[in-house]
Structure 1
Amino acid sequence: MTTTELQDYVPEEEWPPVSTMLDGFGDQTLPASPALAATKIALVATDGTPVEYSFLTSSELAWAEGTATGTAHYKAIEARPGIFIIDFVRGQGDGKDADAQNVTIILDQTTGAVTTAVSGFVVSDGKVRGTTHFTHSNASGQATVHQRSADLVGKRIFYRYSDVESYEHIYLNQGTFTWHCVRGGEAGLADTDRCMTWAVAEDLYIFFWTEQVMTVEAVLLIDLREQRSIGRMFGWDNPAAQPVTLPFNSRLTVLNATSYPQDTHKH
């Protein structure tokens, strides 16, 4: 009997805190790239605000957004040649309070296209909830930006985050997907949440989801060619009353793809 056949519905009040995933997922195993050191990205936000990221070293950057400035420790992973996913946390208290923001930048040096995701927290009805703002721009001044994609729709993909953590995703439509923990700290948990997908290159996608039960904002690259995902989850741990940053990478397997019958007969 498989693990899923032993599982059953888990009521929301029995769900563990977000921090449960930390030990099972472990550390991000893909190496940091030093390729961006001594370079910078200059962008314009959708509201016209100038934004600049200066990579001072292979691990430290300075950021400027309008009149706001700061420095942070970052990690850049070269997902494919010239395509980077860059991640850092900024905010008061070195990212230990509700003002913290997790910034993820996907940079394609071949086209100049840049997608920036800034995840943070808001208080709604007395609860801390997540929110993510996306900016799509071009560091080379060209018109090319990452476009929404429906390429994942219909696919069922199995993700191995570690030896003890496995999940599956079922992509229902362009804005909705179902996730299910097959094995690990959230075994048996499942939900259907909002998502968005953008195409970066052939079989390479930016994927975002936000959860409605737990406070989790996830931004990642899904690479069907290399059969892996690279990204992070940014959540709020209610018992500890602090943010949880979970960088990860996984090995993936496309289990199947759904195609609906084309009914031509009238009833």
Structure 2
Amino acid sequence: MSLNLLDTSNWLPLDGLAPGFDANKAPTVQDLAGKELTVVGDGGPMTFSFDDEEVTWTATGYTGTSTHEVFKVAEDLYYAQWHSSVDAGLAVSLIADLANGRGLYIGAHLGRATAGSTAVQHDFRVGTLEGFTATGDAIGESTALIGRRVEWIYSPVHAYEHVYLSPTWYTWQCLAGPERGLADTDSNTVFQVRPGIFVFTWREKVIPCGSVTIADHRDIKAIRSHGSLFGWDEAGVDPVHFTFGAHGRLISVSHHSPALNPAN
């Protein structure tokens, strides 16, 4: 008997997705080791001191020392990610643009879904890096992805497509892997970090999880992303946190009539 895809109780839990999903994750780097970064701005100052394995941090009322992973997104642009060792319901992302002196802190808070909220809520704090010269445009929310349809390959067996609908919503569909045939529309928030480089976050309502990704869309035939997923295990007892990466390509772009454009 075929699986009833409409029965969401059959959907794979986050810990069931994890094995093998990180096959296309980029190598981590040690470029931030020995650096102390201070983000000044909304919710700041926030401090992050990196060594080879750990980050000691203070931000938005939270502090701790945690094992980190750092990915190089572009020249002097880094995505750091860790799961708090003090508060199991918190995962932290830091976007550090050393070339332009700008930073973006994202706190992912894991709770329980309600009728009006998803299990994961994201706290976004934009600022500048103390001791660096701020240049270029400030990091800010963006509608530039709206209308795009992108195919993402996470591993030899995991593939999805994203359709970016509006400032609030996107649709995903699994093209290959254990979730093949599943699809949904979930809430998203997008920030532009540099021209063509975007932080894309989403919060799922069926599976209690959320994600923070950063992707370089400058070459639409060879998009590269780095990300993390954070949510509850199948039993709803223990947090699950893991990082991943994907290779993408632009499939198509929808062009709405100006008066009907959801970006406006």
TM range (shorter): 0.7 to 0.9
Contact 2:215 2:224 (C-alpha < 8 Å) held by counterparts: yes
Q: 107, 111, 134: which one pairs with 2:96?
A: 107
Q: Secondary structure at the match of 2:17?
A: helix
Query: After superposition, where does 1:50-89 map in structure 2 within 5 Å?
Result: 50-55=45-50, 57-65=51-59, 68-89=62-83
The answer on 1:239 being equivalent to 2:239 is no
Q: Which residue of 2 aligns with 1:160?
A: 153
Q: Which residue of 2 aligns with 1:211?
A: 204
Q: Corresponding residue for 1:38?
A: 34
CA distance in 2, matches of 1:141, 1:120: 31
The answer to whether 1:130 aligns with 2:120 is yes
Report if aligned partners of 1:230, 1:248 keep a CA contact under 8 Å in 2.
yes
Deviation readout 1:14-63 (Å, 9 max, x if unpaired): 2121112111303563111111111111124634x5321011x2222211
One-letter identity of the residue aligned with 1:161: Y
2:21 is aligned with 1:25 = yes
Per the alignment, do residues 8 and 69 of structure 1 end up closer, same or farther by CA in structure 2, a change over 3 Å counting? Answer: closer
Assess, with a 3 A threshold, how the Cα gap between structure 1 residues 138 and 156 changes in structure 2: closer, same or farther: same
TM-score scaled by structure 1? 0.85
Unaligned runs of 5+ in 1: 1-5
Compared with structure 1, are the counterparts of its residues 9 and 66 closer, same or farther at alpha carbon in structure 2 (3 Å cutoff)? closer
Local SS of the residue matching 1:58 = coil
1:161 deviates by 0.1
Pick which of 156-165 and 198-207 moved more.
Answer: 198-207
| Partner Cα separation in structure 1 for residue 61 and residue 68 of structure 2 | 21
Aligned equivalents of 2:61 and 2:238: distance in 1? 27
Moved more, 61-70 or 203-212: 61-70
Q: Which moved more, 1:251-260 or 1:133-142?
A: 133-142
| CA 178–86 in structure 1, closer or farther in 2 if over 3 Å, else same | same
Equivalent-residue separation in structure 2 for 1:66 and 1:202 (angstroms) = 28
Distance 2:228 2:110 in 1: 16
Letter in 1 for 2:246: S
Q: Could you state the TM-score of these two structures normalised by the residue count of structure 2?
A: 0.86
Structure 1 position 12 matched with structure 2 position 2 = no
What CA distance in whole angstroms lies between the structure 2 residues aligned with 1:7 and 1:257? 32
The residue type paired with residue 49 of structure 2 is S
